[in-house]
């Protein structure tokens, strides 16, 4: 997977959970079934969801036209039961009114949006670009984002990095959120990190 740092908007410090919000973009079963690395994407999104819950990172999950494309992947549905859900037709999730309402309810300390989901080169990339334009920092989680064609996902990672976003793996982000071993949060998440 690609792991590139972007330009000046990325900031130089470690990702802090209190400064982050997690958006899982369209993790719907019918979409993930056709993504080249769909099961890995689900596993990494599950790790992000668990870490967000343990570390109290606000989270949001979107669906793209659920009436036509169906609901969340069963492996994520129960895990995300308490997470706000917004159905949308926009490719850039930040353009969906329901998403703006949820973001408005998050703490003012949230300045970085962590993005994962499908498809990387469509909804995830457009959401990342929209977030950067809105003044957020962006972390696109490469191994928790996928496309039908892996080359399209790679192009999405390059595009987001070139625009100033960070692109890296879920485990890197989760360990940055944790900051140290031996804490209750580390002990809760460790079984999902090995």
Angle between helices 125-133 and 150-163 (to 10 degrees): 10
Q: What is the pLDDT of residue 7?
A: 33
Q: Please report, for the chain, the start and end positions of each structural domain, with discontinuous segments joined by +.
A: 18-193
Which residues contact residue 173 at a Cβ distance below 8 angstroms, ignoring those fewer than 6 apart?
15, 48, 51, 114, 139, 141
Per-residue pLDDT tens digits for 31-51: 999 999 999 999 999 999 999
Q: What is the pLDDT of residue 164?
A: 97
Identify the helix (H) or strand (E) that includes residue 96: none
Q: What is the pLDDT of residue 12?
A: 62
**156 CB neighbour count, 10 Å cutoff:** 27
Pick the CATH number of 18-193 from 1.10.760.10, 3.40.1710.10, 3.40.50.850, 1.10.3720.10: 3.40.50.850
Q: How far apart are CA 178 and CA 90, in angstroms?
A: 33
pLDDT beneath 50: ranges in the chain: 1-10
Q: What is the pLDDT of residue 188?
A: 97
């Amino acid at each position: 997977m690609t792991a590139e740092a972007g330009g000046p908007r990325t900031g130089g410090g470690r990702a802090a959970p209190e400064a982050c919000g997690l958006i899982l973009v369209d993790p719907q079963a019918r979409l993930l079934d056709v993504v080249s690395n769909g099961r890995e994407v689900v596993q990494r999104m599950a790790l992000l969801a668990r870490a967000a819950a343990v570390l109290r990172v606000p989270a949001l999950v979107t669906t793209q036209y659920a009436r036509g494309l169906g609901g969340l992947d069963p492996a994520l549905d129960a895990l995300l039961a308490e997470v706000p859900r917004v159905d949308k037709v926009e490719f850039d999730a930040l353009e969906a009114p329901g998403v703006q309402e949820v973001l408005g309810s998050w703490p003012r300390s949230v300045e970085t949006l962590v993005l994962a989901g499908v498809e990387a080169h469509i909804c995830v990339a457009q959401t990342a670009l929209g977030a950067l334009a809105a003044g957020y920092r962006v972390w696109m989680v490469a191994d928790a984002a996928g496309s039908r064609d892996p080359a399209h996902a790679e192009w999405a990672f390059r595009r987001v990095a070139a625009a100033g976003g960070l692109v890296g793996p879920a485990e890197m982000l989760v360990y940055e959120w944790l900051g140290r071993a031996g804490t209750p949060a580390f002990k809760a998440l460790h079984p999902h990190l090995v």
